[in-house]
Chain A
Amino acid sequence: KAGVTQTPRYLIKTRGQQVTLSCSPISGHRSVSWYQQTPGQGLQFLFEYFSETQRNKGNFPGRFSGRQFSNSRSEMNVSTLELGDSALYLCASSLPSGGLNNEQFFGPGTRLTVL
C-alpha cells in the first residue's frame, strides 16, 4: 500500500506571496492532519480534516487554511507569506474510522522557504 504523498517536496517563495501544498493520504484513510515543523518550535498542529470537514484547528493565524476533497486528498494554503513561515509542512493520515486517537502516518513533507 502506498504511503502518504505530498507535493511539491520543495518550494521557494517570496514574502507576500501565497502557496498551496497538497497531500494524498494512504488509500482508505479519511482523516488528514497537517503540522508545521521548525527548529525553534518543533512540530505544531495546524488542522485536521475528515470527510471534507475541518474538525480541529491549532493556534495559527487565519493566513493558514486548508480543505479536503471528496477523495480525501487535502490541500493547505498560506497567504501573505512571512519569513517565519519557512518550515517543513507535514501531512499525516489516519485509519478510516475517523475516531479519536488513531495512529497517524506521516508523509515526507514539503520544505517551504520564504525569501
Chain B
Amino acid sequence: GENVEQHPSTLSVQEGDSAVIKCTYSDSASNYFPWYKQELGKGPQLIIDIRSNVGEKKDQRIAVTLNKTAKHFSLHITETQPEDSAVYFCAASDGTSYGKLTFGQGTILTVHP
C-alpha cells in the first residue's frame, strides 16, 4: 500500500520567513495530494491540494509543488505569521481507493513573532 513520509517533524521560523515542508510517496499510481492544517482541539482543515496533472499550485501565501518523477511534493508558506502555527499534514490518494487518504506523520510549525 501507499506510504507517505513527511519532513521535518518540527519547524521553527521567525515571522515573515518562509517555511517549507516536504513529503515523499511510494505508490506511483497516487494522483491526488492534499495538505491539511490542524490547530489544537480542531479537526484537520484542507488548505490546498494538487493533482498529478499539475506541477504547481498557488493560493495567496501558500503554494504546493509536485514532482511525479521523484515522487515528492512540498508545501511552501511565504511571509509566515504567528497564526500559521499549527500541525501540517500531507496526504496522498491513489485514485482507486474510495475515500482513503494516506497521511504523513505531520510537521509542527511554530512561527515566532
Contact = CB atoms under 8 A, between A and B. Distances in A.
A58 B100 contact: yes
Interface of A: 4, 31-33, 35, 42-45, 47-50, 55-56, 58, 90, 92, 94, 100-101, 103-109
Task: Among A100, A101, A108, find the residue whose CB has the most chain B CB atoms closer than 10 A.
Answer: A101
Task: Among B32, B34, B97, B106, find the residue whose CB has the most chain A CB atoms closer than 10 A.
Answer: B97
A106 B89 CA distance: 13
Contacts, number: 70
Interface residues of B, number: 27
12 contacts: A32-B99, A33-B101, A42-B104, A42-B105, A43-B91, A49-B99, A56-B97, A58-B100, A94-B99, A100-B97, A106-B36, A109-B43
B27 to A, nearest CB: 13
